[in-house]
């Protein structure tokens, strides 16, 4: 080995390429620490595997990664006792951009795999992560000594296209990277991170490298003692949890360990409602561990927080938080991790090159979550109902948004109904249908209590039909997509025409309707600006009037939802239905027969229209006029 100091040029195009990587390759400066820790982890893996072939390469002490900080000189140092490098390897791997030693080692190991050794998972496939240190440092010094060698090598560069390499005396095997950190500039603004601050380093390690297999250690100062006896002491702390629970076999993990891990990643103090733990091998190799919470987080219905809560890891290194490609939005409350062995990343390891594999993972993971929820629904109805009250409103979004899982989502959905036994599924609703009922009927509105008093239920009550009472905003949209289930048409009781009468009732109504037919045109003329049509009802049995929506029009409830969401809404004139068998409608016909289109007849038309609006919970257009008419009628 040469003992002289050499000044060499990088082997690629280099000042321009290095400058491009420093300023353009990574979106966040803090990524540099993830890259260096990943390289250190790879070096420890390599030494562990090589030691199986040569006992002289075994660790003198426990394998670890260490972070050292000097706030006065503003240096940050990362140390590992891994395999290390020779001078030639330093020049080849560090002096040539995008020449990864890990990649070569993996190729070599695949060709000559040591008997009985597991193939380690290494992520340094591109050979550019080391240079991310120049994003935060204006000078980087690397000192390394390879296991089995007596001498080490000292490499240094200011990222200007050249570097120096010289022999170095090192006491131990491994690699030491010292970064002389840049000072804050105006360009940094409020986003400046002090990478000598303990809390900054803790957060970065926890975010990106929490599950790295080896301990990541750092010395911290703490004050001990009381009053005059207080003193500063230095403690060595481990910054990462080192507990990638998903890598272990399910039968080796206790419920307590699952619960602790859930609390660690979710910051939730309660235990999870359910979990899914997968280990998949085949064309794609990945592990997943996700949890269904018991209680609803505050931001669940916040439209600005509608993201996945599943994080993506590749070989135990964090790649992406809240990865939208791993979980559908209607399961955004599910918390967990997916760790893949073979997802194709871009060169900065920040994003995926393509998402075909990700789509497969998402589909399988979604199916497993639905399966465990269905199991709880069947085995623990009370517990599932409590869970449903917290998360059902979000899960129902899957009926509308996810055609691929629409049926599965519907199967685990609970609906309030006119039945007093509590919410039930559509399968349970169908099983309880009386003979002769051919469709599923529902009403949608603001709340269950108001819906239960609706005039639109009258014909269903008479026939003994159960009706779904839908009061979540998502219900209207879901039932636009779900217009049939298990061969049963799904029909809104307050929309379009209904044909639910038996023959005897139909004959009586049609006879009355024919007798009162002149009334329709007269009422329509008086209410021309307020309703689109006046007709005799097939759905009313006790009430005189009701407002319904035309077959292709937007319901009053949907208009309300759109207005509350600050969406533009064009109000649709609705249909006024009259009950031809009700005494009030007969009285209205008598007044018209005696007085024609009198002012009293016009007032009565306004009254029945206002009554229909009040019964459904809508506002009357001119409340002062409506109140005056009622007062006059009472007098």
Helix (H) or strand (E) holding 18: helix 14-20
Given a cut of 70, is residue 346 above it in pLDDT? no
For residue 428, what pLDDT is reported?
A: 96
- Residue located via tokens 């599924």: 425
Given a cut of 60, is residue 204 above it in pLDDT? yes
List Cα–Cα distances, 618 to 4, 446, 613, in angstroms: 90, 11, 5
For residue 350, what pLDDT is reported?
A: 47
pLDDT tens sequence across 248-307: 899 999 999 999 999 988 888 899 999 999 999 887 889 999 999 998 877 776 666 668
- Residue located via tokens 């049963």: 488
What does 563-576 look like in DSSP terms, one character per residue?
A: HHTT-------EEE
List Cα–Cα distances, 128 to 107, 125, 164, in angstroms: 18, 9, 19
Q: Which CATH code for domain 415-493?
A: 3.40.50.11260
The mean-pLDDT minimum among 250-254, 392-396, 488-492, 503-507 falls in 503-507
* Fold held by 503-553+564-634: 1.20.120
Q: What is the mean pLDDT of the chain?
A: 85
The mean-pLDDT minimum among 62-66, 101-105, 459-463, 487-491 falls in 101-105
For residue 110, what pLDDT is reported?
A: 56
Neighbouring residues of 14: CB distance < 8 A, sequence distance ≥ 6? 97, 161
Given a cut of 70, is residue 125 above it in pLDDT? no
Given a cut of 80, is residue 118 above it in pLDDT? no
Q: Which CATH code for domain 6-238?
A: 3.30.565.10
pLDDT tens sequence across 503-521: 777 788 788 888 888 899 9
Contact, 439 vs 484, CB < 8 A? no
* Fold held by 245-381: Ribosomal Protein S5; domain 2 (3.30.230)
Q: What is the DSSP letter of 23?
A: I
**Using a CB cutoff of 8 Å and minimum separation of 24, what contacts does 478-487 make?**
478/396, 478/397, 478/399, 478/400, 479/442, 479/444, 480/400, 481/399, 481/400, 481/403, 481/406, 482/399, 482/406, 482/410, 485/410, 485/426, 485/430, 485/440, 486/426, 486/427, 486/430
Under the banding of pLDDT at 50, 70 and 90, the label for residue 351 is very low
Higher pLDDT, 68 or 313: 68
CA distance 480 to 495: 12
Given a cut of 90, is residue 132 above it in pLDDT? no
Given a cut of 70, is residue 494 above it in pLDDT? yes
Q: Which of 410, 371, 415, 369 is nearest to 389 (CA)?
A: 415
The mean-pLDDT minimum among 93-97, 197-201, 536-540 falls in 93-97
Contact, 275 vs 262, CB < 8 A? yes
For residue 408, what pLDDT is reported?
A: 97
Q: Is 497 helix (H, G, I), strand (E, B) or coil?
A: coil
CA distance 447 to 472: 8
Q: What is the mean pLDDT of residues 58-66?
A: 94
Percent of the chain surpassing pLDDT 90: 49
Under the banding of pLDDT at 50, 70 and 90, the label for residue 418 is very high
CA distance 560 to 441: 21
Domain range summary for the chain, segments of one domain joined by +: 6-238, 245-381, 415-493, 503-553+564-634
CA distance 366 to 398: 11
Given a cut of 80, is residue 227 above it in pLDDT? no
Contact, 221 vs 236, CB < 8 A? no
Structure tokens at 228: 């005059």
Q: What are phi and psi of 68, to 5 degrees?
A: -125, 140
What does 412-437 look like in DSSP terms, one character per residue?
A: T--B-BSSTT--B-HHHHHHTPPTT-
pLDDT tens sequence across 288-303: 999 999 988 777 766 6
Q: Is 127 helix (H, G, I), strand (E, B) or coil?
A: coil
Higher pLDDT, 125 or 73: 73
CA distance 627 to 630: 5
The alpha helices in 197-276, defined as continuous H runs, are 198-209, 255-266
CA distance 411 to 140: 59
CA distance 166 to 6: 6
Q: What is the mean pLDDT of residues 78-86?
A: 95
Q: What is the mean pLDDT of residues 606-626?
A: 89
For residue 47, what pLDDT is reported?
A: 94
């Amino acid at each position: 080995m040469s003992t002289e100091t050499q000044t060499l040029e990088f082997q690629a195009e280099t000042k321009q390429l290095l400058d491009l990587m420093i300023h353009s390759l990574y979106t966040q400066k803090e990524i540099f620490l993830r890259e260096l820790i990943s390289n250190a982890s790879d070096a420890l893996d390599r030494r562990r595997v090589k030691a199986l072939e040569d006992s002289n390469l075994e660790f003198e002490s426990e394998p670890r990664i260490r972070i050292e900080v000097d706030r006065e000189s503003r240096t940050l140092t990362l140390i590992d006792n891994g395999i290390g490098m020779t001078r030639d390897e330093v020049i080849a791997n560090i002096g040539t951009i995008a020449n990864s030693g890990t990649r070569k080692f993996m190729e070599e190991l695949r060709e000559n795999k040591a008997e009985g050794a597991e193939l380690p998972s290494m992520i340094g496939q591109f050979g550019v992560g080391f240079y991310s240190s120049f994003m935060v440092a204006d000078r980087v010094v690397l000192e390394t000594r390879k296991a089995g060698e007596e001498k080490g090598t000292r490499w240094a560069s200011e990222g200007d296209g050249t570097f120096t390499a010289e022999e170095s005396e090192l006491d131990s095997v491994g690699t030491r990277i010292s970064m002389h950190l840049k000072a804050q500039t105006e360009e940094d603004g409020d986003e400046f991170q002090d990478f000598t601050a303990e809390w900054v380093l803790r957060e970065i390690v926890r975010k990106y490298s929490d599950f790295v297999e080896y301990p990541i250690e750092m010395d911290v100062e703490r004050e001990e003692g009381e009053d005059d006896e207080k003193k500063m002491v230095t403690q060595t702390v481990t910054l990462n949890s080192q507990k990638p629970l998903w890598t272990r076999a399910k039968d080796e993990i206790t419920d307590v360990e699952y619960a602790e891990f859930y609390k660690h990643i979710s910051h939730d103090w309660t235990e999870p409602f359910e979990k899914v733990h997968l280990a998949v091998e085949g064309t794609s190799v990945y592990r997943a561990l996700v949890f269904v919470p018991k209680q609803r987080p505050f931001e669940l219905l916040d439209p600005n927080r509608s993201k996945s809560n599943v994080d993506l890891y590749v070989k135990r290194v964090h790649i992406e938080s809240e990865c939208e490609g791993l979980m559908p939005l209607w399961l955004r409350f599910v918390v967990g991790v997916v760790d893949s062995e073979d997802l194709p990343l871009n060169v900065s390891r920040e994003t995926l090159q393509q998402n075909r594999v990700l789509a497969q993972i998402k589909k399988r993971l979604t199916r497993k979550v639905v399966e465990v929820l269905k199991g709880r629904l069947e085995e623990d109805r009370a517990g599932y109902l409590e869970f449903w009250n917290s998360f059902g409103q979000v899960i129902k979004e899957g009926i509308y948004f996810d055609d691929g899982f629409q049926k599965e989502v519907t199967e685990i959905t609970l609906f309030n109904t006119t039945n007093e036994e509590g919410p039930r599924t559509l399968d349970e609703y169908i099983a309880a249908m009386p003979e002769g009922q051919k469709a599923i009927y529902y009403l949608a509105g603001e709340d269950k209590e108001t819906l239960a008093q609706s005039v639109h239920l009258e014909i269903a009550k008479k026939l003994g039909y159960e009706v779904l009472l839908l009061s979540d905003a998502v219900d209207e949209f879901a039932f636009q997509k779900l217009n049939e289930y298990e061969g049963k048409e799904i029909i809104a009781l307050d929309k379009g025409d209904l044909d639910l009468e038996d023959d005897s009732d139909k004959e009586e109504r049609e006879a009355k309707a024919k007798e009162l037919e002149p009334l329709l045109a007269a009422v329509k003329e008086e209410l021309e600006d307020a309703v689109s049509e006046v007709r005799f009802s097939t759905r009313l049995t006790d009430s005189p009037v009701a407002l319904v929506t035309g077959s292709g029009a937007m319901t009053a409830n949907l208009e309300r939802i759109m207005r509350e969401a600050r969406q533009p809404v064009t109000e649709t004139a609705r249909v006024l239905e009259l009950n031809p068998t009700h005494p009030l409608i007969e009285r209205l016909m008598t007044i018209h027969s005696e007085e024609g289109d009198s002012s009293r007849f016009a007032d009565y038309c306004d009254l029945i229209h206002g009554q229909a609006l009040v019964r459904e919970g809508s506002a009357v257009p001119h409340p002062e006029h409506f109140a005056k008419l009622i007062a006059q009628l009472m007098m």
